[in-house]
Structure 1
Amino acid sequence: MDPQIIKAAGNLLTPTTLPLLLLILTILYALRRRRRSSGLRLPPSPFALPILGHLHLLAPLPHQALHRLAQKHGPILFLRLGSVPCVAACSPDAAREVLKTHEPAFLDRPKPAAVHRLTYGGQDFSFSAYGPYWRFMKRACVRELLAGRTLDRLRPAGGGEAGVDVDAKLMGLTGDIVSRMVMGKRWTGDDNDTEEMRSVVAETAELTGTFNLQDYIGLFRYWDVQGLGKRIDVVHRRFDAMMERVLTARDAQRRLRRQQQRQAAAADGEEEEEKDVLDMLFDMHEDESAEMRLTRDNIKAFMLDIFAAGTDTTTITVEWALSELINNPFILHKLQSELDTVVGNTRLVDESDIPNLPYLQAVTKETLRLHPTGPLVVRRSLEPTTVCGYDVPAGATVFVNVWAIGRDPAWWGPDPLAFRPDRFMAEDATDVRGQHFHLLPFGSGRRICPGASLALLVVQAALAAMVQCFEWRPVGGAPVDMEEGPGLTLPRKRPLVCTVSPRLHPMPPLER
């Protein structure tokens, strides 16, 4: 380019002319967007910036930012994140239209760059496109992989300790449950894969919950300006290496087991084989006549799905529940009284006790109302449709703000931020499995979380055991800080650190 032209262009960008240039660009951007959306009745929209659109308005926590915008502009919003059109539904009525009334138009999910890379190019179940593979895996999850699996009895750990990192303890507990169910091995073993899986799960939640400019601004599609791509690649390589070790070892075990079964069948008759989830996935991989034969990458991606969903979210829910109970000692004592009455102090609470513990169930529901582990249900519109009288264009990303809906005073009264489990003690109490659109911690409709019942069982059993067996006090005696942290899920911003002492003397033996 001619040096004189470059020099002239540089002279234009003076402190005096720069604001004028930005104003012109803003007007041109607004006019261009208006022309593109002419003829559509879009929801109310805040003022947008050139190129960025409304991305700058979603910091630092998108679900909180969308809630604030909805309070100002109304319960349904139109946003443009870079070049991606988006609609945010922040009321139960809007959620009902997205997830039920017009559900066929919103059965797809956007696939961010981080998810695409971590799931082997989209080979997982959670983010897969709505179609034959997704329907096959949904049936497999409901009927086989996550159905009818009774968890091993939870063993409370620790006691008489000061400064206990509750998050680390809970991650070990929930990870152990999921690992035994999925792979038939303990998460809390001494092998290197234990810490590796914990680290991968934590980093996956953070990376998939970060707004990546590559997903929204075409200019950055092939430019890793935030450095997220490098981090994603590192996590993916670590997970893949770990899963290759796991799958190779399981493949060898299965070959040996088949050889032993053939020998046993020849001698005394074949015995029925007990299978874990990984065995079932291998069966789908090896069955040439299966409706949908899984690839090795499908297995790895599904394992990431189930570990991320089964450990991180469960840990977060129990941690929020315990935080609320510590800050509300009357409620904590009421729950302990229920456990003492129903279970007593000579044995440990069992998962079979849960139906007889209505206040425990109410505490869990109230925790999920205020602290849903998935604060935003995300969909992508497959076709043009309408929500609450507004047009939603095809290809738009749709956010259902579960976090905001759980704080709607129209449903939850004049003090919706108060932790009050008694809200759920009425006979017609709201359920959490997607039938009541003012409480959607697991989503709703065909893409509701298939592990909802399992998650509830683990959360309630773990919380009951912790409250029955131990007294919990925050280090220093100050109220527990309830500030939220960033991520796809809803973690605490700061770790919950408590002083723990035994509540039962002596501790009841663990029945087997």
Structure 2
Amino acid sequence: MEMGSAEAHLPWALALFFIPLTAILWAILRRPSGRKLPPSPPSLPIIGHMHLMSQLTHRGLARLAAAHGGLFHLRLGLSRTVVVSSPAMAKQVLQLHDHAFAGRPTTASIRYLTYDLSDMAFANYGPFWRQIRKLCVVKLFSRRRAQSWDCVSSEVDSATSAIASSPPRQPVNLGEIAFNLARNVTYRAAFGSSGGRGEEQDKFIGILQEFSKLFGVFNLADFVPWLEVLDLQGIKKRLVKARSELDTFIDRIIDDHLASPKEGDDPKADMVDDMLAFLDESGAAGGDTDSAELAGSFKLTRNNIKAIIMDVMFGGTETVASAIEWAMAELLRNPSEMQKAQAELTKVVGIDRKVNEEDIDKLPYLKCIIKETLRLHPPIPVAMHEAMEDVEVAGFWVPAGTRVLVNAWAIGRMWSAWKRAEEFWPERFVEEEAAREMSGGSFELVPFGSGRRSCPGMRLGLYGLELAVAQLVHCFRWELPAGMKPEEMDMGDVFGLTAPRAVRLCAVPTPRLACPI
């Protein structure tokens, strides 16, 4: 989060707000008698827990959970937040009360950059959101949509070929390779050939990176709403500029697609082609009823298409790239696990060819490695929900409008739920914990969320992750650079929408196959 500009304005902003409105705030935030909120850390008058803002990371929230339990609450300015940090409480929120917590909290930045919640990730739960989700599941991320899945294999091959052609005995930056691989896959799936490569792609990634910063920026107006008009931190100017640049870029791509339309069954059709089948240039989006079929009353505006594309780019780039890098980092830190994975690959695939799609389901230990990576390093460490109505959870009152943070990172490392919780031990999924799966039914393992707001692109993302890691492990022997020992590796992360490694992973590859790579 960008804290510097906020801190510069904080003293007088607090004076503007807190002194004259103390009595009003106290009346708004007092809870009705007889209703018990979840436990909370000690708070301060008026500002509540805003002095704990530095703890609102996956690690900081896990430390607070250790002291206050798997369900606790924080009061941040005018907003209430409930934090979920145990499998039992995750089941309450994501399954037993799934409908009540199907909302998404938003900020001023999110509302503006998603064209007033025109996307799927942050759209209000309701008939239109259900139709957008159906579009994503049935069309955009479907296994029948060959273009998306084929470009995964193609880009993985390009990445391994680039590594093979690098100078011998020299380290390569696996973090950069993973990011470029995930970016290229997502870009091709979304735009096909119309998006261009090189400078055009770099320009779009620059827009994406600014969006990412603005999504995570600390904005005083999110906690003190009437400060938004003052724009004390200059955030509004950045929002307008970023969205204007996105409009220019994607409007051109939409116009190119409209000029050369493709049928839905065209193997070269991309995600923009699929969405343009539902375009309504009049600006009226949505369906009239819950049963509106995709081919019937369901319509999209240009703003819907732009916002969904941003969902796809965020969901398919940073998350997959981070997971690939973390998997390789854990294998390099645990050489015996790398040896087990390569032994399985040699047995199933052999050393005379590379891994193909059909091999993946024959590699059970590789799948255990992927599950263990996602347990320790979930793509979205803290998932955001919002209570759409007053609800009672485990005997505690959670009022409507409360932000609910599900700390998947803390749940995956909970000592009472996992043996050797802090260790990278893939074999756990071969033994008694084998039944725990990642699709949302096992609340000890929720890297993709669960329930109505679970990730619709999970299957495509997992396919890219599994194939990339399998190919990297199969094609090369890996060593740490400059004689570094595994225990010397920096395994720190950086908190944001994702939690990537703090230090990019570099390693020395040596080809191990008897065929050209």
Quickly name the TM-score band, shorter chain normalised.
0.7 to 0.9
Task: Give the alignment partner of residue 77 of structure 1, picking from 72, 75, 80.
Answer: 72
Q: Does 1:98 align with 2:93?
A: yes
Q: Secondary structure at the match of 1:400?
A: strand
Distance 2:29 2:109 in 1: 31
Q: Secondary structure at the match of 1:410?
A: coil
Distance 1:231 1:491 in 2: 24
Q: Secondary structure at the match of 2:347?
A: helix
Q: Does 1:501 align with 2:501?
A: no
Q: Does 1:384 align with 2:398?
A: no
The amino acid that maps onto 2:498 is T
Distance 2:337 2:348 in 1: 17
Q: Does 1:457 align with 2:457?
A: no
Counterparts in 2 of 1:200-349, with a 5 A limit? 200-254=207-261, 273-274=266-267, 275-285=269-279, 290-349=296-355
Distance 1:345 1:456 in 2: 24
The amino acid that maps onto 2:230 is W
Distance 1:380 1:293 in 2: 26
The amino acid that maps onto 1:237 is S
Tell me: CA distance 1:34–1:179, structure 2 relative to 1, closer, same or farther (3 Å): closer
Which whole-Å deviations, capped at 9, do the CAs of 1:157-201 have from their partners, x for residues lacking one? 3234434222222122122222332222398x6442211232233
Distance 1:397 1:484 in 2: 24
Task: Give the alignment partner of residue 84 of structure 2, picking from 86, 89, 92.
Answer: 89
Tell me: CA distance 1:28–1:183, structure 2 relative to 1, closer, same or farther (3 Å): closer
Aligned length: 470
Q: Secondary structure at the match of 2:249?
A: helix
How far is the alpha carbon of 1:53 from its aligned partner? 2.5
Q: Secondary structure at the match of 2:75?
A: strand
Counterparts in 2 of 1:348-367, with a 5 A limit? 348-367=354-373
Which whole-Å deviations, capped at 9, do the CAs of 1:117-151 have from their partners, x for residues lacking one? 11112111111001111110111111122111342
Q: Secondary structure at the match of 1:285?
A: coil
Distance 2:255 2:380 in 1: 33
Q: What TM-score comes out, normalization by structure 2 length? A: 0.85
Tell me: CA distance 1:472–1:56, structure 2 relative to 1, closer, same or farther (3 Å): farther
Structure 2 gap ranges (5+): 1-18, 283-294
Distance 1:398 1:37 in 2: 20
Does the 8 A contact of 2:281 with 2:302 survive in 1? no
The amino acid that maps onto 1:467 is V
Task: Pick the structure with greater CA Rg.
Answer: 1
Which whole-Å deviations, capped at 9, do the CAs of 1:228-286 have from their partners, x for residues lacking one? 433333332222221122112222222xx69xxxxxxxxxxxx9633322111000115
Tell me: CA distance 1:492–1:186, structure 2 relative to 1, closer, same or farther (3 Å): farther
Q: What TM-score comes out, normalization by structure 1 length? A: 0.85
Between the aligned residues of both structures, percent identity stands at 38
Q: Does 1:158 align with 2:152?
A: no
Q: Secondary structure at the match of 2:111?
A: helix
Partner of 2:63: 68
Counterparts in 2 of 1:353-432, with a 5 A limit? 353-413=359-419, 415-426=420-431, 428-432=434-438
Tell me: CA distance 1:471–1:25, structure 2 relative to 1, closer, same or farther (3 Å): farther
Which whole-Å deviations, capped at 9, do the CAs of 1:454-509 have from their partners, x for residues lacking one? 1111100011111111233333333331111121111112222233332324425x
Q: Secondary structure at the match of 1:309?
A: helix
Q: Secondary structure at the match of 1:231?
A: helix
The amino acid that maps onto 1:62 is T
Distance 2:223 2:359 in 1: 48
How far is the alpha carbon of 1:82 from its aligned partner? 1.3
Does the 8 A contact of 2:448 with 2:458 survive in 1? yes
Moved more, 329-338 or 285-294: 285-294
Which whole-Å deviations, capped at 9, do the CAs of 1:314-372 have from their partners, x for residues lacking one? 00110111111111111111111111111111111012211100111011101111101
Q: Does 1:115 align with 2:110?
A: yes
How far is the alpha carbon of 1:223 from its aligned partner? 3.4
How far is the alpha carbon of 1:219 from its aligned partner? 4.7
Partner of 2:16: none
Does the 8 A contact of 1:326 with 1:472 survive in 2? yes
How far is the alpha carbon of 1:387 from its aligned partner? 1.0
Distance 1:28 1:332 in 2: 61
How far is the alpha carbon of 1:34 from its aligned partner? 7.1
Distance 1:437 1:484 in 2: 23
Q: Secondary structure at the match of 2:417?
A: helix
Task: Give the alignment partner of residue 482 of structure 1, picking from 491, 495, 510.
Answer: 491
Tell me: CA distance 1:28–1:131, structure 2 relative to 1, closer, same or farther (3 Å): closer
The amino acid that maps onto 1:63 is H
Partner of 2:126: 131
CA RMSD of aligned residues (A): 2.7
Does the 8 A contact of 1:52 with 1:217 survive in 2? no
